[in-house]
Amino acid sequence: MRQIKIKKVLNSSKNPPKLIDQFGRTVDYIRLSITDRCDFRCVYCMAEEMTFLPRDEVLSLEECARLVKVFVSLGVSKVRITGGEPLVRKNALWLLEEIGKVEGLNELVLTTNGSQLEKQAQDLKHAGVKRINISLDSLDTARFKNITRTGELDKVLRGIQAAKLAGFENIKLNTVLMRGVNDDEVLTLVNFAIAQAIDISFIEEMPLGDVDHKRDSTFCSNADTLKILQSEYPLITSAETTGGPARYWRVANSKTKIGFISPHSHNFCESCNRVRITCKGELYLCLGQEDKVDLMPLLRNYPDNDQPLIDAILNSMAIKPKGHDFDLKRTKPAVIRFMSHTGG
């Protein structure tokens, strides 16, 4: 892993610096994990028996809020809060309310497994969350339990309804298809999304973390999934974007968009506009690489001075890689850390 030297970067309030990497890409989107803990144990995301971080090794909610404010001052306009499962973090709602008030932030979004939405959806709406992505990999109760190991499908379905009743107009399902596991539910899941008037995205499984199955044997290409869907639905290509890597198709005569996030079959790195911050304060410049900058020491060593933090973030753009290098046939995963460590 490459290291960078922190150097002084001039910061003028009249011309605030922007986050532009060595390839000319502007970073205006951060994904911030606020916990590595989750009430599910999804088979593609983490091990069944997990060891979670001690509390003092996790960013405080105040530190999370400070980070967001600094990134927004550097031109970031979209923040996604992730985990683990972010809504199992105690007082997560306070953080979302604080972020929702940050001047210059255009969009606060949340990725969740849906388990806590039945109780929290209305409060999330009031806090300023604009969009919610909900993981849903099966509509079969037993299969959902097998994939999540601990999850209850009915609880998630009630959470989806609670989000709709709370007035969220931008709800999207995220589905990871795995061959021989849930790939026969493509049409079932899309029919559900259409009936609910919400969107759905299919995400190719990423080789992150040492899980207990061989990913090349379960891999489902989004190109194949698209062919199945085109044979069933009138799909219209769309140039719409939510600021992330998904490519969308609209289902004619419905309110539903179908997105495809394809890190294997269609590398989207040329337009990458995002970085990720773990709950430990590690700034990862690419989900599929190990290049990172540790921000926690700067947060804690300089509690009243943001400049060292700003300098480190600006300089991190020099090590943002051109792209990831996923190869499903490797005997070891491309990146050892679990998806739950980096944030969804």
- Asked if residue 178 has pLDDT above 50, the reply is yes
Q: How far apart are CA 209 and CA 232, in angstroms?
A: 35
What does the pLDDT look like over 39-59, one tens digit per residue? Answer: 999 998 888 888 899 999 999
Reported confidence tier of residue 11, pLDDT bands at 50, 70, 90:
very low
Q: Across all residues in the chain, what is the average pLDDT?
A: 88
Which residues are CB-neighbours of 229 under 8 A, at least 6 positions away? 186, 187, 190, 235, 249, 258
Q: How far apart are CA 174 and CA 201, in angstroms?
A: 5
- Asked if residue 146 has pLDDT above 80, the reply is yes
Cβ 29 vs Cβ 244: under 8 Å:
yes
Q: What is the pLDDT of residue 291?
A: 84
Q: What is the pLDDT of residue 1?
A: 46
- Asked if residue 166 has pLDDT above 50, the reply is yes
| Helix/strand/coil for 183 | helix
Reported confidence tier of residue 337, pLDDT bands at 50, 70, 90:
low
Q: What is the pLDDT of residue 48?
A: 83
- Asked if residue 145 has pLDDT above 90, the reply is yes
Cβ 199 vs Cβ 259: under 8 Å:
yes
Q: How far apart are CA 339 and CA 301, in angstroms?
A: 28
33/246: higher pLDDT? 33
297/10: higher pLDDT? 297
- Statement: the pTM of the whole predicted model exceeds 0.85: yes
Q: What is the pLDDT of residue 6?
A: 40
Give the rounded percent of residues in the chain with a pLDDT score beyond 70. 84
Q: What is the pLDDT of residue 208?
A: 53
Residue 124, burial from CB neighbour count under 10 angstroms (0-12, 13-18, 19+): buried
Mean pLDDT of 264-290: 82
108: β partners: 79
Q: What is the pLDDT of residue 217?
A: 78
335: β partners: 208
Q: What is the pLDDT of residue 2?
A: 46
Mean pLDDT of 185-214: 84
Domains located in the chain, CATH noted: 29-342 (3.20.20.70)
Mean pLDDT of 10-28: 79
Q: What is the pLDDT of residue 216?
A: 67
Q: How far apart are CA 30 and CA 69, in angstroms?
A: 12
Reported confidence tier of residue 9, pLDDT bands at 50, 70, 90:
very low
Reported confidence tier of residue 117, pLDDT bands at 50, 70, 90:
very high
- Asked if residue 197 has pLDDT above 70, the reply is yes
- Asked if residue 8 has pLDDT above 50, the reply is no
333: β partners: none
Mean pLDDT of 258-286: 84
| Helix/strand/coil for 205 | coil
- Asked if residue 13 has pLDDT above 90, the reply is no
Place of tokens 């005569």: 253
Span of 143-152, 280-289, 296-305 with lowest mean pLDDT: 280-289
